[in-house]
Copies of this chain bind each other. A is one copy, B any other.
Amino acid sequence: MEISYDGTAFSGWGIQPVLRTVQGELEKALATIFSGHLPAPTLTVAGRTDAGVHALGQVAHLDLTAEQWLSLDAPLRGKKTGGATNRTASLTRMLNGLAGHRGEIHVREITMAPDGFDARFSAIWRRYSYRIADFQAVRNPLMRNHTLWYPANLDVTEMNRAAASLTGLHDWASYCKPRERASTIRTLQEFTWHRSQDGVLIAHLRADAFCHNMVRALVGATVAVGEGKLASTDLVDLRDERARTSVFKVLPPTGLALMEVGYPEDADLRSRAEASRARRDLATAGTEQPSLTSERLSD
């Protein structure tokens, strides 16, 4: 399923006790929809977004039992339905009616997954965007829920140059919030800044996967360049020191959105998922040997 959400009022994607999360709302809806065929399905997601982070192209999958799948044929609006397309459309409508009634979460589409598909482990890249309104005149109250209002005017040419200098396969320890036994080696495939037609600064970042806080740290570092506080070359030097630093800020989640997740051709889905899972298991067992030439964990 492809999902969009306004993360403002959520404590992130991942389900947590007490706190309101996107996964929590969707799984509560699934428990209602499949209340006659428990246990209810759970969701596996491509990008576990943090509190306050948005998504337009989040991807998750769920596995249904044969009974659950057929239960979606139940009459809807008095019409008897049937067939895969009707079942996924019916599930989409029910989820949007239950979890999306306020419009904060919207399931855009549900389709049958190809054989071997895993929303998390089959993914080969994630693309994020970050929006900043710097000049007074470009601040738009209608977009304030997903645009950071920055209190200084920024030089987009310098920011874009700094962004381009950072791409490639590197150890991003300087730009990641450390997590035990998690690798910080990633391939930053794309990182650009441009000023959109309406004057808003937009960053696009694509990587095989991002480690924790990496997008917001990279954005914060390039903003420091745009403000004249750091030089473009500083960011590469900081990266190559492979140690956390406080010379730039990790920016707030407001401006950040997961835009798109990339998957390989159907035939490669299973092998990609198996490879990702194997590396995750190695890392969890504490035996991973990070190497700049090997492929990395997928989230």
* Chain A contact residues, majority secondary structure: mixed
Decide if A296 is an interface residue (CB 8 Å cutoff): no
Q: Are A136 and B108 in contact (CB under 8 A)?
A: yes
Please classify how large the interface on chain A is, using the bins under 10, 10 to 19, 20 to 34, 35 or more: 20 to 34
User: Chain B residues near A257 (CB, 8 Å)?
Assistant: 142
Q: Are B144 and A103 in contact (CB under 8 A)?
A: yes
Q: Report A148 CB to chain B, min CB distance, Å.
A: 11
Q: Which residue from B92, B109, B137, B144 sits with its C-beta under 8 Å from A6?
A: B144
* Highest count of chain B CB atoms <10 Å: which of A106, A143, A145, A146: A106
Q: Report A77 CB to chain B, min CB distance, Å.
A: 12
Q: Using known A-B contacts A103-B149, A149-B103, determine if residue A108 contacts B141 with beta carbons closer than 8 Å.
A: no
- Mask for A63-99, Cβ within 8 A of B = 1, else 0? 0000000000000000000000000000010001000
Interface CB pairs A-B, < 8 A, 15: A4-B140, A6-B144, A54-B141, A92-B136, A103-B139, A103-B144, A104-B141, A104-B144, A105-B141, A106-B136, A106-B140, A108-B136, A109-B137, A142-B143, A145-B145
Chain A residues within 8 Å of B, Cβ to Cβ: 4-6, 54, 56, 92, 96, 103-106, 108-109, 136-137, 139-146, 149, 257
Q: Report A231 CB to chain B, min CB distance, Å.
A: 27
Distance A137 CA – B1 CA, assembled complex (angstroms): 12
Q: Are A108 and B6 in contact (CB under 8 A)?
A: no
Distance A144 CA – B54 CA, assembled complex (angstroms): 13
Q: Using known A-B contacts A92-B136, A103-B149, A149-B103, determine if residue A142 contacts B109 with beta carbons closer than 8 Å.
A: no
